[in-house]
Structure 1
Amino acid sequence: MSPGDDRDRDAHPAAPAASPTDRSAIRARIFTAITNRDFDQAALFAQYLARISPVHADDLTVAALAWACKGELVAARRLLDQALELDPHQKMAAMTLARVAPPLTASALRALRWHTESDPAVIDLLVSHVVATGEPQGYVVARTVRCLLPPLARHAALRWRHLTLAEIHLEPSDQVRQIALPVPGPLRGIVDPTLFVDGIALPQGPFPASLLAAPRLAAVTQVMNPSLWHVQAMDRAAPDRPVALQLRNGDQIIGRHICVPVTNYAVTGLEDIPATPIEIPAGTENPVLYADLTGEPIGPPPPVGADDGIVDVIIPVHGDFDATQSCFTALLTQDPGTPMRVIAIDDASPDPRISAMLDDLARGRRIALVRNPTNLGFVRSVNIGMALHHGRDLVLLNADTVVAAGWLGRLRQAALASTETGTVTPWSNDATICSYPAANQPTPLAGLDIAALDRLAASTLSGHTIRLPTAVGFCMYIRRPCLAQTGWFDADTFGIGYGEENDFCLRATAQGWQHRMALNVFVGHVGGGSFGTAKQARIQSALRVLERLYPGYGEEVQSFIATDPLRTARRIFDLARLRDLSEQWPLLILCASLGGGTDRFIRTQIDQAQVQGRRALILRPEKQGDIVTLRLEVPDRLDFPNLVYDPRVELPQLRDDLNDMGVATLELHHAMNLPPSLLLELASWFPNHAYIHDYGWICPRYTLIDGSGRYCGEPQDTKICDQCVADHGDLMGLGIPVAEWRAIAGRVLAAAQSVTCSSADTARRMGRYVPTARFKLLPAEAAHTPPSAIMAPARSSTSEPLRVLVPGAIGPSKGYDVLLACAHDAAHRQLPLQWQVLGYSMDDAALLETGRVVISGQYREEEVPALMAQLRPHMAFLPSVWPETWCYALTHVMAAGLFIAAFDLGAQAERLRQRGHAMLLPIHAAAPAINDALLQSAASFTPDQLGLHVPAHYNDADSPTRYSPDQE
């Protein structure tokens, strides 16, 4: 049996989890060893620390220190360089490099420059570097560019594009000098200047604008009366800097004002900013206050103006050229279904291709373009766009979305259907609670036909909406009256992105607005591209803020997810797509998710049905606690996850859907997780055929193994069976006495048109319980032609260990206890025996500890011949202790031509009797007897001696099988 094979679910143990490594303890040992000047010991611990996975930059730095103390500077530098690759800002690594392995690398210098603001000690190291190399170094302290000049330098300049922002001329000196080159006030935090020394640009490149105090405005506005506002505003990136404001009436500037912080102490918040009175001139119809530097709206939105029927589609743009290009291509080539104006906010995109594309579109009057003076972030960009027109509804659209024809018209229709609707969100492949096909999780956009999904949504869910606890910001339609009453997005709290739309929606909800989802619109979404790997951290931070501001919000969202009001809509969506794949699905396969040989056999059934031109569906009973659901699966497709039915209330719907899809035949493969009454109901819907994969039809433990760990003998008194189930577990999840279950299963099997068994032994065994069933014999696999030569090598002598192959995933029913006992006995008696597990077991460590077992690990089926050639076994042993119904592992070793030992039980014994060149052991044989029999067989049989061998002490009474010809 190959790993992942067969019916024995408890033979598939999970890999053991590794123990957590105490990194701090290892570091402490290193420092203790260094203190004791035991540098060899420190290096040993350092080697261990540097290999702990995942690798941490801090650990590499400590390890490097140990190597440096030992005098191994090359090794120390290598670790420090690696630490800086992992964390470019790792100060400790850079400082250690400067002290133990100069000269400094570019990465170390970059890390030191990053910390000049917070640690003056790194400046001393930079000074030492300039002294040693004569290379100037520039860095930022207090939002000012500073430069360490070597003795002979005469001129320094700060330049941006073709402008010289600041410069200084110096006479030669014999010392390193430090100079400051401040950026002019109006450009501070906006430009990314480059430092030149004696006309040569420093290789570190431009200083990022973010280090030079990119503005982050915060403001509070109190409307004292229609003609007087009180405003407090500050730039949190540079709290001491005054903030200039513009008062506009529409597009006309009607006043300028400055908010100045209180001097003589540090500004920590808006409470330190005195209120600036702003008078609203008489006759001002639509007053809006803007930040002079950035154009952000400050204060309340203006009253709702006249609606001209146009919807503003606002798209902040920063990076990802390919996604952005796809977004604008779809947006501008598809008929939106209602008039729109596209407003692109270029948020200081670093990609010149994006800027050029937006410029071309703006010149062609296809979009309105606003270009931020610096990167302000998504939320501030959105606010700028929302403030451009006070009468229109608007859509906030991410630049990594893809829309289809008619999308905006249907969104607007949903928004205008009720005066209480404030926002509308469509479906998407990545839209948290509005996601499809997977609920509340993303599905990659690649490979999805967005236009087809949108058409399907429009045709199958036309006009349907559902109430949401919050909109989802990737594509968010906002009614202008809702915006006017609720206010702008909170850029101060959520300016970097995530959480802003939830905060807006919760404020709107408090004002009586509702948030709806348009079920007839689908918009594609790449998702997560704007923030890369930082996405999850930003989401978690935003959720903490939202929960602090709106206690209970998280529970409301979780309640929405748990109740899942979109479940039925997603199922309708799935069914519609399923019908598009095929007009008819005549075959329905009923089986729990068992894995192993059962699913392998079902895969064969599906393939055969497809060859015959029939499409197949799988109905999987799933159980969580006491709740059973029925999941309809499409073979080889993972994008139909919503075909789930609650049999307590949705059986009629399931039956109707199956009939609509043309189901005509049912195959019953396994009843695990099915309440008996539900099994009877499902079996009555269609003509059915049953398949026997194990003994779950008669045994709630499905392998006929009792507390001894071996075959139970099938006692006639079912009270013994009930006690076994009570003691060892009801693996089928039936919850009823064995006699009652056998009666129900018997009704189902007797009514089936056929009951297929892979072996005659299985048919005989089942025939005892359901004598009226129409049994049919069909091997699970096509017959293999016997090999022309035996693969097993000859033993060189009786002292050479007999290599015994044990194939499969070895758990209790596959004979794990037997194998372990045999290995212990061989070790104890020093027998020349070695077991080769071709696969894995429920406890590999215990087997390996015997010193008599080797384990290949999990493998793919196509690897079997190569693995066998590598292991070079002399024979095989299948220690399975239950009467198997087939056994794919046996097929592997039979095909290899090996001499095989197994217990005289079930299909494995039946197949070996037919094949010969095998030894059958009594089922209750002890480990010493098994080992002796294996060694005796190896001595008695040579590759050219084929036949069936049964030990002399074999008792035919051990075989429980009986068989009547009419059951064949």
Structure 2
Amino acid sequence: MTSDQKHPDLTGTTSSAAFSGYGHEVTPEERAEWREVMSARAQAAFQRGQDAIHAGDLQDGVFWLERAERMARQSPNVIWALAIAFLNVGRVPDCLKRMERLYGKYGLREAAFLSVVCLVRLNETTEATSRLGAALSKFHILPELRQLAAQLSQATGLQGWCTASNAGWVDVEASGSVRVLLDGVEIGRGNCGRYTFPEGWRTARRLEVRAGRKHALGSPIDLQALMRCESLVRATARGLEGWLWFPSEPEHVPSITLWDGRVILVPEFAPDVDSDVPLSRPRSFLLDKSFTPKGDCGPLVLQDEHGRSLTGAPVDPVVGRLVSGKGKLPRRLYPVPVKSWAHRPRDARITTGCAVVIPVYRDLAGTTACLRSVLETVPPGIEIIVVDDATPEPKLADFLDNLVQDSKITLVRHKSNQGFPASANDGMRLTAGRDVILLNSDTLVSPGWIERLRARLAFTDVGTVTPFSNDASILSYPSVDAENAVPDQVEARKLDLLCQALFSREEVCIDLPTGNGFCMAISAECLADTGLFREDLFAQGYGEENDFCLRASAQGYRHFPAPDVYVAHIGSTSFGSSRKALMGRNLEILNALHPGYDEKVAEFIESDPLRDFRRQMDLSRMDDLREERSSILLIQHDAGGGVGRVVRQRAEMFEQQDFLALALRPTFLGCKLEWPLEKENSFPNLEFTLPEELPFLIAALSRLKIHSIEWHHLVGHAPCIRTLHEELRVPYDVFVHDHIWFCPRISLLDGHGRYCGEPDVAGCETCIATWGSYLGENLKVSELVLRSGQEFGRANRLMVPSRDTAQRMARHFPQNHFVPVPLEDDPVLLSNVSGQKREVSGRPLRICVVGGLSRWKGYDILLAMAECVRSLSLPVEFVLVGHTPDDETLIAAGVKVTGEYREDEALDLIREQNADIGFIPSVSPETWCYALGVLWKSGLEVLCFDIGAQSERVRFSGVGAVVPLGMPVEFLVSFILRRWGPVS
């Protein structure tokens, strides 16, 4: 990344301008600009792929769509388009993999059915039939697959197949007579055809189509899954606006039933709905003020055609005035600005008992696990009140009934689903002046949790108390701004014990802007003075507990964390794809009701008063990971790449030697400590501000028993990191990755991108004065060389990747001894290369370049070669498996550029190009070259220039070729064609 993306930096150096580091922050504006650049590239690749497919060039379309997918890995629309393209070109396994991914993440109907098509093409008939039956049991069939359904049912010995519709019928295609049963009651008998459901069918759960004793393919049909409706309704200045659709049957035109019984058909598609679901087809409606009652009518109920409230209903039309700021408001909706309220006296209070309220809707496994953890840990005298919000799962309802029979819970049961706020309110109404602990049904609690929460409610000014959790917004751990893994019961108890061991009085007294309703203890006095949740405004939920806490703050109550309690939380899953829309709607209402709320939360996040506590938890967990071992500390820069790969390799080696391998990266304010072998950052709080927190860093590293330090890259680090070994009194080694030790430009290239020849210090000073430095420090070349020599002299061991690097470093630092430590096993890599010239006849020669191509990696060379080939109409094609800061110019010159890739994708990507040779165009002496290794591994001979480790390795291999650096591109292309070109 550079600070000016309009004029990309092609140097490819690890400069302070290229990535964040100490005192060199990549600003949010720069990150946003980079995201825009990457998004534009992905969009361009996607459009180019679509255009190629429409023009009939399927292979070219696949290439560009694959590029788009690598640039936008989470885009379901790109994944879908690429999957279809794969299917059309016969890459069926690749299509199947993406269809399964789309179905697993989004429950996408089209992906479910097209997975069946893929399996049929792969001749996996049995699995295809099973998948088709599963799809038909919850989705209306795609019209194009009716014939395939008949073929599969016949091929597997079934009597036929069936598909149901939200319009109230089931189509049956069968070879003999069938019976149609609704919840076990026969509603039809006969041959193939359409069977209409009787009145009242919408309350049924199971539809069966039987031919004798066998089910037709698709039977039994889950009617509740078929009738699942995604929707939203919100009050605006125009009236009541919203959308709805049935994911099981997007073609079905839905209707809504209004509060007064009127039925409105909703045929128009809603193009502007922000949905994460690919191929979603919501349909929009607007009920202007002529539809709604006059005056302050209160909340209105809107239902889908199956009698279920739309997400966001009941909805109060007057809220439209609140969020738009237009019109007179009733007193109940007067905004209450967030400010510092006067607190109540902090006297000890006399408690009057406690009750736990748990609203329940679905998820048998999660809810039973939650209730069992509560029942195992609840102390005597605590009532457990469960509110069954009309669960659609009979087994869950039976489980609750059994708990009632065993006198373990008090049960409130709704006849229809009313949402979390209403359910919580119905439970809290039964608490009769007691403290309340409101608990989600997707949580796991540990012994003593109730006692510790109640202890935090001990004073009269306390309104609510919220524990730590993996998913609790500002009280999340380990990360407050990224998704955390959900711990199981055992891990949750470990974290709970850790919270108990580490908390202090300081954390207990931190004021929170709001509690979190996943597990929130509410004092009886606060509940009495504040009132219940506002179910008239927040519908199915989200934001209701924030509104409650802000109203409580206005009464003088405070909100505290319970840092000695940890509760595992699976997270919100109830709303489906409507959840994001409901959250946005309710947040808008919340901010209109309480102006300044967002700013208050932002201030808390910025100050982060719980940072030290989370950091102590991270450090304790990392120390537990260490067990009885010593640790090795690997210091690296923040740019990833080859250095990051070597650090991981070295970490794996040290772990095999029974050390805990840790890594230290630079940050804008200091550094962060990591475990480099973990896939996700489980210790995000181990960041240290330097030099202020250097003593804390030293104490943390001492606790982790650092045995020695290995320097990999110090660019971007605070100066005090260079003497960290002295503070810890441990030895250090140096692993040289580039020429920053004596060249402030790092790459040994001048401003024209030419190898400098490594002149004496005076020559280097002239170069720097002319072309500038990437060192990020105000050092003369003579000072840099002197410092490097001194640091090398104090190091325990000096390592370099190659003999070439050892010789080059020894010329500048003759008093030091550099030991080559190869990063790969070249003989093993070369075993894939036959050494025989590939036959190229009747097509152009394909040359493959690999990696992130900067100027010193040979960008200018590749561009010049491509322009030469195009101008002379030579039979040569270039493909770059990788990316550059300026892909567009290379693409315009005729180079295919795949875009960025993951390390584990490189080999397959190279092989997909069907290249004839590999080319390393680097014009700077590389210390190693992972691109060379992956080209060899793919079976290709490699051409490179006579410089650096790449030349050393190719020459030693005896395959491929090495050409003089600076060879004119015309001669270079001619040489390639003579050696590897097409046979005439």
Matched to 2:441, the amino acid is A
Residues 512 and 592 of structure 1: is their aligned pair in 2 closer, same or farther, counting only changes over 3 Å? same
Q: Among residues 423, 435, 444, which one is paired with 2:464 in the alignment?
A: 423
Structure 1 residue 474, shift from structure 2 partner: 0.6
Residues 795 and 667 of structure 1: is their aligned pair in 2 closer, same or farther, counting only changes over 3 Å? closer
Matched to 1:620, the amino acid is R
Q: Among residues 845, 851, 857, which one is paired with 1:808 in the alignment?
A: 851
State the partner residue of 1:676.
719
State the partner residue of 2:787.
744
State the partner residue of 2:618.
574
Unaligned runs of 5+ in 2: 1-10, 20-33, 51-68, 70-74, 79-108, 115-142, 144-162, 170-197, 205-251, 263-294, 303-325, 333-348
Matched to 2:599, the amino acid is E
Does residue 452 of structure 2 align to residue 401 of structure 1?
A: no
State the partner residue of 2:535.
491
Does the CA contact (< 8 Å) of 2:633 and 2:661 recur in 1? yes
Residues 712 and 328 of structure 1: is their aligned pair in 2 closer, same or farther, counting only changes over 3 Å? same
Structure 1 residue 804, shift from structure 2 partner: 3.7
State the partner residue of 2:587.
543
Show the 5 A alignment for 1:947-966: none
Matched to 2:671, the amino acid is T
C-alpha root-mean-square deviation of aligned residues, in Å?
Answer: 4.6
Does residue 739 of structure 2 align to residue 695 of structure 1?
A: yes
Residues 704 and 315 of structure 1: is their aligned pair in 2 closer, same or farther, counting only changes over 3 Å? same
State the partner residue of 1:598.
643
State the partner residue of 1:511.
555
Residues 863 and 423 of structure 1: is their aligned pair in 2 closer, same or farther, counting only changes over 3 Å? closer
Does the CA contact (< 8 Å) of 1:308 and 1:391 recur in 2? no
Matched to 1:751, the amino acid is R
Does the CA contact (< 8 Å) of 1:904 and 1:921 recur in 2? yes
Show the 5 A alignment for 1:713-792: 713-717=757-761, 724=768, 730=774, 732-734=775-777, 736-784=779-827, 791=834
Superposed CA offset, 1:253-292 (max 9, x none): xxxxxxxxxxxxxxxx9999999xxxxxxxxxxxxxxxxx
TM-score under structure 2 normalisation? 0.63
Matched to 1:813, the amino acid is W
2:755 is paired with a residue whose SS is coil
Once residues 492 and 298 of structure 2 are traced to their aligned partners in structure 1, the CA distance between those partners, rounded to angstroms, is 42
Residues 236 and 774 of structure 1: is their aligned pair in 2 closer, same or farther, counting only changes over 3 Å? same
Does residue 696 of structure 2 align to residue 646 of structure 1?
A: no
Residues 879 and 684 of structure 1: is their aligned pair in 2 closer, same or farther, counting only changes over 3 Å? farther
Structure 1 residue 919, shift from structure 2 partner: 3.9
State the partner residue of 1:17.
41
1:672 is paired with a residue whose SS is coil
Structure 1 residue 719, shift from structure 2 partner: 8.2
State the partner residue of 2:158.
none
Superposed CA offset, 1:408-448 (max 9, x none): 111111221x3322110000111110001112443242557
Once residues 704 and 558 of structure 2 are traced to their aligned partners in structure 1, the CA distance between those partners, rounded to angstroms, is 38
Does residue 749 of structure 2 align to residue 709 of structure 1?
A: no
Residues 845 and 108 of structure 1: is their aligned pair in 2 closer, same or farther, counting only changes over 3 Å? farther
Superposed CA offset, 1:875-934 (max 9, x none): 443210111001122234456776543222111222234334454333233212322333
Matched to 2:794, the amino acid is A
Structure 1 residue 510, shift from structure 2 partner: 1.9
Show the 5 A alignment for 1:237-252: 237=300
Once residues 406 and 442 of structure 1 are traced to their aligned partners in structure 2, the CA distance between those partners, rounded to angstroms, is 27
1:880 is paired with a residue whose SS is coil
State the partner residue of 1:263.
none
Does the CA contact (< 8 Å) of 1:792 and 1:874 recur in 2? no
2:460 is paired with a residue whose SS is coil
Show the 5 A alignment for 1:840-859: 840-851=883-894, 853=895
The alignment covers a number of residue pairs equal to: 701
State the partner residue of 2:388.
346
State the partner residue of 2:375.
332
Residues 933 and 468 of structure 1: is their aligned pair in 2 closer, same or farther, counting only changes over 3 Å? same
State the partner residue of 2:701.
658
1:394 is paired with a residue whose SS is strand
Structure 1 residue 673, shift from structure 2 partner: 1.1
Residues 723 and 512 of structure 1: is their aligned pair in 2 closer, same or farther, counting only changes over 3 Å? farther
Once residues 235 and 373 of structure 1 are traced to their aligned partners in structure 2, the CA distance between those partners, rounded to angstroms, is 22
Once residues 902 and 528 of structure 2 are traced to their aligned partners in structure 1, the CA distance between those partners, rounded to angstroms, is 62
Which stretch shifts more, 677-686 or 793-802? Answer: 793-802
Matched to 1:621, the amino acid is P
1:536 is paired with a residue whose SS is helix
Once residues 786 and 543 of structure 1 are traced to their aligned partners in structure 2, the CA distance between those partners, rounded to angstroms, is 56
TM-score under structure 1 normalisation? 0.64
Matched to 2:474, the amino acid is I
Superposed CA offset, 1:116-163 (max 9, x none): xxxxxxxxxxxxxxxxxxxxxxxxxxxxxxxxxxxxxxxx9879999x
State the partner residue of 1:944.
none
State the partner residue of 1:361.
403
State the partner residue of 1:126.
none
Q: Among residues 955, 962, 965, which one is paired with 1:920 in the alignment?
A: 962
Structure 1 residue 861, shift from structure 2 partner: 6.5
Does the CA contact (< 8 Å) of 2:351 and 2:435 recur in 1? no
Matched to 1:921, the amino acid is V
1:673 is paired with a residue whose SS is coil
Q: Among residues 467, 472, 476, which one is paired with 1:435 in the alignment?
A: 476
Once residues 893 and 518 of structure 2 are traced to their aligned partners in structure 1, the CA distance between those partners, rounded to angstroms, is 59
Structure 1 residue 339, shift from structure 2 partner: 4.2
Matched to 1:340, the amino acid is I
2:962 is paired with a residue whose SS is strand
Once residues 699 and 441 of structure 1 are traced to their aligned partners in structure 2, the CA distance between those partners, rounded to angstroms, is 39
Structure 1 residue 236, shift from structure 2 partner: 2.4
Structure 1 residue 341, shift from structure 2 partner: 0.9
Unaligned runs of 5+ in 1: 1-5, 27-51, 57-80, 87-93, 95-104, 112-155, 163-203, 215-231, 240-268, 276-305, 942-968
1:812 is paired with a residue whose SS is coil
Which stretch shifts more, 911-920 or 596-605? Answer: 911-920
Does the CA contact (< 8 Å) of 1:878 and 1:890 recur in 2? yes
State the partner residue of 1:620.
665
State the partner residue of 2:416.
374
State the partner residue of 1:532.
576
Structure 1 residue 15, shift from structure 2 partner: 7.5
Give the % identical residues: 35
Superposed CA offset, 1:443-495 (max 9, x none): 24255721121112112226641321111111010111122222222222224
Does the CA contact (< 8 Å) of 1:327 and 1:400 recur in 2? yes
State the partner residue of 1:556.
600
Q: Among residues 903, 910, 914, which one is paired with 2:945 in the alignment?
A: 903
Does residue 492 of structure 2 align to residue 460 of structure 1?
A: no
State the partner residue of 1:383.
425
Residues 412 and 722 of structure 1: is their aligned pair in 2 closer, same or farther, counting only changes over 3 Å? farther
Residues 336 and 593 of structure 1: is their aligned pair in 2 closer, same or farther, counting only changes over 3 Å? farther
1:467 is paired with a residue whose SS is coil
Matched to 1:678, the amino acid is I
Structure 1 residue 611, shift from structure 2 partner: 2.0
Matched to 2:648, the amino acid is R
Structure 1 residue 681, shift from structure 2 partner: 3.9
